[in-house]
Every structure is written in structure tokens, then in C-alpha cells.
Amino acid sequence: MALLEALGKGIRVFDLAVPMQAGMPAAPANVPFSMALSRRHGDSDGTGQGGTASNAVIITGDHVGTHIDALSHVASKGVLCGGVAVSDAMRGGKYVKLGADTIKPMVCRGVFLDIPALKGKTRLDPGYGVTDRDLQEALGDTPLNEGDVVLIRTGWIQLYSDPVAFLGHNTGTPGPDASGGRWLASHKVRAAGSDTISFEQVELGPRFRQRPCHGILLWENGIHIVEVLDLEELAREQVKDFLFILSPLKLVGATGSPVRPLAVVAA
């Protein structure tokens, strides 16, 4: 009842997802998004009275666009989070354990950390590693509680309309480094998200394919990762904390799910 009373006083909803459409950025390991109308209005008149219906076919990888990682997404030496053997979890072309269908909907407190604002920039430099100190300074006096969701802005989503630049294969991308991942894990957050395609720092050179935060968060601590968030409006409005709402699709046995996260604040 208290929540309904609060809603009745007026709210503002921030949509944190990117549009899903042909040509959108997708990492090479994923099937790119595509959509085609399989049935158009006018193809047939099934009612005989002028009524028509239209349908579409959608093809996409489970880590394209704004999405959440399931705990089946990463393994180390054949073992998933919690000591679950991949050989036990992966059956019949899907994960019977730790798949996207096991991710519970999230209705909880969210905390926004704006790292470019901390650095006096509009966007972090390519390959910049967001440290534990950066995260703590951006948090300031705002409480961070166990079970909260932390959203980290780098400003990289500003490049989203240019898939080559956004993927950062020639430049690297900014994001939390290993110390930042450990900082998040130490606070026992429920999930952590960012506005890049890889969440964490990606450096050119021999470390280009290393993803330590995925190991620290997903594999070691069972903390979900949300990627390709649009956090620019939260930054413009200087929102610090909010009601966070996220519900994955029940994609049985998938390694991730497209999502449309919302941040809700009092109007």
C-alpha cells in the first residue's frame, strides 16, 4: 500500500534501454539483430471482412542490445558459478542450470555512479580503467546497501550510433578494472551495469580479451552484469538513487536476456 500511495503522488520513469533495430552494434560472438515482417497487412484477408494481421520474425543473440548476463555466461576450467560443472549444466543445446530463465525479476534500490562527471569529462577515454577509488569517490555519502543495483556511467553510449566506434576494437573501451569489480563484490550488490558492450575496461594489446570483472562478479560472486545501458538522461538530471526495475525474458537455458530496465523516481 505504501508503494501505491507513493506512485499516486507522481513519478518519473527513465527508460535505460537502447532501441533494438537492424544495424545496431553487436559483439562478433553474437548473432546480430534482424527483423522482417513475415506477414503484412494486405497479404491476405483471413476474415473475409477486411480484417488483417501482421507479424514479424526477430533473430538476435542473447547478448545484443541492453541485456543481462546469466550465471551460465562464463566458466573457468569447465566450472560455472557455485562449482556447477558445465557438463552437468549444459544439456540438449541449453543450460538446465543457471540459464537466463533462472534470473529473478529485480525491483530494488538502484544507485547511479557518474564517472565522467567525477573526472570533469563528457565521456571517459578509450580503455580507461574505473578503479575502486573512482567508484568510492563517485558514491560519496550516498549509502550503498547489500542487494542494491549499481549502474556505472562511462559516457561511451554516446558512440552507439557508430557500431565500429562503440565496439572499440581499434581503441579499447572504458569500464571498471579488477579493483572496481572487487569493490562491487565487497558491497554484495545484486547486479552491476554499465553503458558499454563489455561492462569492464577493455585495453588494446595482450589484455584485449581479458574480462576480469566477469570472473569476479558472475563466476566468483553470482552477481549479474547488465550491459549497453543508456544512462545519459540519469546523468543530465543528476539522479543518484532510484527504484530499479528489470525483468529478463524467460529464455529457458539461454546465457543472457534482452531487458528494458527502468529507473523510477518521485516527480
238 part of a folded domain = yes
At 204, the pLDDT band (50, 70, 90 cuts) reads confident
Does 216 fall in a domain?
yes
pLDDT in tens, 1-19: 455 566 667 899 999 999 9
pLDDT of residue 8: 61
Quick check: is 31 in a domain? no
* Whole-model pTM over 0.85: yes
Number of domains making up the chain: 1
The answer to whether residue 262 is domain-embedded is yes
Residue 43 maps to a domain: no
Least Cα distance to 115 among 77, 56, 157, 85 occurs for 157
- CATH number of the domain residue 210 falls in: 3.50.30.50
86 neighbors 76 (Cβ within 8 angstroms):
no
Q: Is the dihedral of CA 16, 164, 26, 224 positive or negative?
A: negative
Q: Whole-angstrom Cα distance, residue 158 to residue 236?
A: 13
Longest dimension (CA), the chain: 68
**Summary mean pLDDT of the chain:** 94
Domain that holds residue 220: 10-19+62-266
